[in-house]
Amino acid sequence: MGRKLIFGFFAIVLAMSFVFISGQAMAAEKKKEGPTQFFGILIYRTGPFAAGGSGVGSGWEDFMELRNMQGGVNGIKYSWEECETAYNTARGVECYERLKDKMVLVHPLSTGITYALIPRGTKEHKVVISSGYGRADASDGSVFPWVFTTPTNYWSQNSAKIKFIGKQMGGMDKLKGLKIANLYIDIPYGQETKPMLDALGKKFGFTVRHFPVPWPGIDQKAQWLDIVRRYKADWVINRNWGVSCTVPLKEAARLRFPANRILGGWWCGSEEDVLPAGPAAKGYYTANWHGVGRNFPLIQEIVDKVYGKMKGHISFTRVGSVYWNRGVYTALINEEAMRTAHKKFGVKVLTGDEMRWGMEHLNITKERIKELGLEGFMGPVKTSCENHEGGKTVLFQQWDGKKWVKVDEIAPMTDFVWKRIKASAAKYAKEKGITPRDCSKVD
Amino acid sequence: MFYRECGVLKETYRQDMAIFPIPLDRWGLGVMLVLAFLVIPFTASDYWLSSIMLPFYCFSLAALGLNFLTGYAGQVSIGHAAFMAVGAYSSLILYGRYGVPLPLSILGGGIFASAAGTIFGIPSLRIKGFYLAVSTLAAQFIIEWVLTHWQWVSGGVFGTVDAPDMYIFGWLIDTPVKKYYLVLCVLILLTVFGKNLVRGQLGRNWTAIRDMDVAAEIIGVSLFRNKLIAFAVSSFYAGVAGSLITFTYYLAANIEEFNLFLSFHLLGMIIIGGMGTVLGSFFGAGFMTLLPIFINQTLLTIMERVPSDIRANSEAIVFGGLIVFFLIVEPYGMARLWQTIKEKMRLWPFPY
């Protein structure tokens, strides 16, 4: 019996490899349809953070599907391939290596994978975009020519958060004497903003205390007792990820801490994060960098054309959700970079260098946003050789019990943040032996 | 018929003690080495070398280390990923900040990991089984915490140390082929060393402790020494594996790579591959690292029209199913399967 099973298994493996090889041959033949701009999508539809990965990846694919129906970008159609990383760095690198010959631009969609891809992308001339994650100092384009944090990074976000808190309290002078608790998940991602908040605290005269939550952050009772009873915080910054984003809302409700005094980061601000908390989440604020919902002409178009023809890549209920819209934003940045590069290099399938040029010369103005059918969805973005961040504002949204409502749009403290980005990037350059580019000499 | 001991006459003690007494085995090994050294680097694409073979070799090495501790000496460890992290960080710091030559840095990574492993191995003198497992779990958390919070190690707020370019005596190791050779050489060196270790007195001591520690102590095996050596050797291997995978594959030491999941993964490798066998570590590492990629690519072609979320999840389902299947069919691991095949081959074609 055992032996038969084993032989059966080997037979299956053998059959599978035949299918695999012939399938690859077939796939090779299919590629002869005409020039397309290829994107490799590092996605995670499985694992603990599947809500984020599947949403962003699908939004991006749906957008490309729409453009392909409309005839492509200046006639160049998109093609893409998904690769499942399960938020695991080793798998993510494997995906990159598998697809790198075809693609010119990659969104790692995970901090760990970003770290692994920065040296690879720099060496192999692939644009690495870590929009709103990864290392904040990669916004300095003179040290990280191939890395973009468009539209914004964690440090800018936190400076905007402090401004937002000041505005909510009725003026920046009211920040003096305020007690802010920084509740963060105790992994490098969570710690990244600690020095930033300390510096801001010194500048504006409020106190910050840091409350680490051990990974994976399911249990935060002790931290919350500390925050509410002993520290008596006025505001709590919720810097968690995945399932640990929801826990604070429930804990706060249990201790009668008002939800509208909790301010989450943008990876803690999706429907998937607040719905499990039920009514406890009502009033909770988070940062974001794009609009939510389906009330934008472009997104309506995706709904009508892509989902109308049953060509969507995710269940229809999630269309218009935070992560799905983030995918649309991602796709849009790529496309604007393509259009910019087309203007300079002509309409063709772009190489890594040309794509990078396009990313570095992005200029998405208010008029352009309106033209795209995304008025109110996003702020203007303008990048340069030096500034790989590009975004001008951080949006703030509030959960009203049913949906996210945009409440404010705040510009980060650019000078304050950029001084630190420059210093940190210079330190990195020194350690790695990189000579920063002289941006005044680059066109 | 060809694979047999009959007619192989052992004339010296040396021949009697050989790792592979049967000529066909030696030939087989020779072919494998030729394959690994000459065929694969020149035929495989960069993708295969850099993203399939490199992690496979590195994880094989880590699994081999864990196998000494858990498979041979019988001490369960679920903190092995942390020892890999110690190796990764310390070798990067030695090489990047202090300019220690690369081979010495990798060795140094192993030594630091070995020191950490020995310290966390001390409780094993008093506790065993599940209780020891919990104390090694503590090692995992403590080391993770220290590496994230010790600013000097991570060099700033990002908690990451980037791998500089690798030079061995002024020779730049940058292409996948060169990296492949580096990892392969270290792997073979340490495998030969490890195989001889477990064949010798030390390995026998370990086995004795694993099978019954009281009896082992009565016949004069020092538990204190042997258990700690097991921890030291095992975490040395983990440290070297951690530093190699960081230098060649991750290119940046980030503590999130070496989390608890990886510890369980390593344990899974040796259970599926075969506890207490050297070969099993390779089988297990192959199973756990290559099979998901293989399933993923296969599903990609046969399930092209299936929605991608179902496809992504079916990878996990197939992989999990295969683990269960293997554990039911051969609870002693894939190495035992190979053993069974060899025994059958000795009698073939006239089994009685």
pLDDT for A330 equals: 92
How big is the CA angle at A74 (ends A72 and A76), to the nearest 5 degrees? 50
Q: How far apart are CA B272 and CA B280, in angstroms?
A: 8
Average pLDDT value for chain B: 90
**What residue spans define the domains of chain A?**
35-152+293-392+426-441, 154-288
Longest Cα–Cα distance of chain A, Å, equals 79
| Residue of A1, A5, A20 best to disrupt the B interface, most CBs of B under 10 A | A20
pLDDT tens, residue by residue, B145-196: 898 888 888 776 677 888 888 898 888 988 899 999 999 999 999 999 999 9
Cross-chain CB nearest to A19 (options B55, B301, B307)? B301
pLDDT for B326 equals: 86
Cross-chain CB nearest to A188 (options B96, B148, B316)? B148
Q: How far apart are CA A108 and CA A90, in angstroms?
A: 12
pLDDT for B149 equals: 83
For residue B177, give the CATH number of its domain: 1.10.3470
pLDDT score of A233 more than 90: yes
Q: How far apart are CA A90 and CA B248, in angstroms?
A: 12
Q: Does residue B352 fall inside a structural domain?
A: no
Read off the tokens for A175.
Answer: 């920040």
Contact (CB<8Å) B163/A9: no
Q: What's the residue count for chain A?
A: 443
| Residues of chain B with C-beta less than 8 angstroms from the C-beta of A93 | 51, 249-250
The C-alpha of B158 sits at a distance from chain A's nearest C-alpha, in angstroms, of 6
Domain match, B4 and B22 both: yes
A314 touches chain B (CB under 8 A): yes
Q: Is A132 helix (H, G, I), strand (E, B) or coil?
A: coil
Whole-number Cα distances in Å, A179 to A21, A259, A265: 62, 16, 18
- Structural domain containing residue B258: 47-347
Number of neighbours of residue A335 by Cβ within 10 angstroms: 18
| DSSP one-letter string for B142-198 | HHHHHHHH-HHHHTSTT-EEEPPPEEETTEEE-SHHHHHHHHHHHHHHHHHHHHHHH
Q: What are phi and psi of A206, to 5 degrees?
A: -105, 160
The C-alpha of A261 sits at a distance from chain B's nearest C-alpha, in angstroms, of 26
pLDDT for B51 equals: 87
Domain match, B6 and B153 both: no
> In A70-169, which residue ranges form alpha helices assigned H by DSSP?
89-99, 111-124, 154-169
Domain match, B167 and B116 both: yes
pLDDT for B297 equals: 82
| Residues of chain A with C-beta less than 8 angstroms from the C-beta of B254 | 89, 111-112, 115-116, 188
Q: Which residue has better confidence, A111 or A303?
A: A303
Contact B216, B106 (CB under 8 A): no
How big is the CA angle at A184 (ends A179 and A185), to the nearest 5 degrees? 165
Q: Is B278 helix (H, G, I), strand (E, B) or coil?
A: helix
| Residue A436 DSSP class | P
Report the half-sphere exposure of A329 (CA within 13 A, side-chain side). 30
pLDDT for B316 equals: 85
Number of neighbours of residue B115 by Cβ within 10 angstroms: 17
pLDDT score of B217 more than 90: yes
Q: Which residue has better confidence, A12 or B162?
A: B162
pLDDT for B25 equals: 85
Read off the tokens for B27.
Answer: 């030939």
Domain match, B24 and B137 both: no
Domain match, B27 and B156 both: no
pLDDT score of B107 more than 70: yes
Q: Is A396 helix (H, G, I), strand (E, B) or coil?
A: strand
pLDDT score of A1 more than 70: no
Burial of residue A442 (CB within 10 Å: 0-12, 13-18, 19+) is middle
Q: What share of chain B is helix, strand, coil (3-state, %, to 5)?
A: 75, 5, 20
pLDDT for A171 equals: 87
pLDDT tens, residue by residue, B253-308: 888 889 898 999 999 999 999 999 999 999 999 999 998 888 888 877 777 667 77
Domain match, B296 and B180 both: yes
Exposure pattern of A7-30 as b/e (b: 16+ CB <10 Å)?
A: eeeeeeeeebeeebeebeeeeeee
Q: What share of chain A is helix, strand, coil (3-state, %, to 5)?
A: 50, 15, 30
Q: Is A236 helix (H, G, I), strand (E, B) or coil?
A: strand
* Contact partners, residue A295, CB within 8 Å, separation at least 6: none
Whole-number Cα distances in Å, A355 to A336, A362, A368: 10, 11, 20
Task: Give A 22-41 residues with CB within 8 A of chain B.
Answer: 22-24, 26-27
Question: A118-132, A200-214, B162-176, B337-351: which has the minimum mean pLDDT?
Answer: B337-351
Number of neighbours of residue B45 by Cβ within 10 angstroms: 12
pLDDT score of A433 more than 90: no
Task: State the total domains in chain B.
Answer: 2
Domain match, B33 and B154 both: no
The letter for the amino acid at B184 is L
Whose structure tokens read 């992690």?
B55
Q: How far apart are CA A186 and CA A191, in angstroms?
A: 7
Task: Give yes or no for a cis peptide into B21 (omega within 30° of 0).
Answer: no
| Residues of chain B with C-beta less than 8 angstroms from the C-beta of A83 | 296
| Residues of chain A with C-beta less than 8 angstroms from the C-beta of B312 | 43-46, 82, 84
Q: What are phi and psi of A438, to 5 degrees?
A: -90, 105
Average pLDDT value for chain A: 89
Q: Rounded to two decimals, what is the model's pTM? A: 0.89
Q: Does residue B266 fall inside a structural domain?
A: yes
Domain match, B188 and B259 both: yes
Q: What are phi and psi of B233, to 5 degrees?
A: -65, -45
pLDDT tens, residue by residue, A189-213: 888 888 899 999 999 999 999 999 9
pLDDT for B221 equals: 94
What's the rounded mean pLDDT across residues A8-37? 65
Share of chain B above pLDDT 90, in %: 58
Contact (CB<8Å) B141/A187: no
Task: Give A 384-403 residues with CB within 8 A of chain B.
Answer: none
Start-to-end C-alpha separation, chain B: 14
Domain match, B84 and B115 both: yes
| Residue of A12, A41, A215, A427 best to disrupt the B interface, most CBs of B under 10 A | A215
Read off the tokens for A18.
Answer: 């035949």
**B131-137: long-range contacts at Cβ-Cβ below 8 A with a sequence spacing of 24 or more?**
B132/B75, B132/B76, B132/B77, B133/B76, B133/B77, B133/B78, B136/B76, B136/B77, B136/B78, B136/B79, B136/B80, B137/B78, B137/B79, B137/B260
Domain match, B8 and B86 both: no
pLDDT tens, residue by residue, A312-330: 888 899 999 999 999 999 9
Cross-chain CB nearest to B312 (options A45, A186, A424)? A45
Task: Specify the CATH superfamily of domain A154-288.
Answer: Response regulator (3.40.50.2300)
Instruction: For the domain made up of A35-152+293-392+426-441, give the CATH fold.
Output: Rossmann fold (3.40.50)
Contact (CB<8Å) A313/B148: no
pLDDT score of A264 more than 90: yes
Contact B180, B53 (CB under 8 A): yes
Read off the tokens for A178.
Answer: 């305020």
pLDDT for A132 equals: 86
The letter for the amino acid at A403 is K
Domain match, B17 and B74 both: no
Share of chain A above pLDDT 90, in %: 63
Domain match, B34 and B58 both: no
**A4-13: long-range contacts at Cβ-Cβ below 8 A with a sequence spacing of 24 or more?**
A5/B325, A5/B329, A6/B329, A6/B330, A6/B337, A9/B325, A9/B329
pLDDT for A24 equals: 58
pLDDT score of A127 more than 90: yes
pLDDT tens, residue by residue, B52-83: 999 999 999 999 999 999 999 999 999 999 99
Dihedral (CA of A246, A247, A252, A254) sign: positive
ipTM of the complex: 0.86
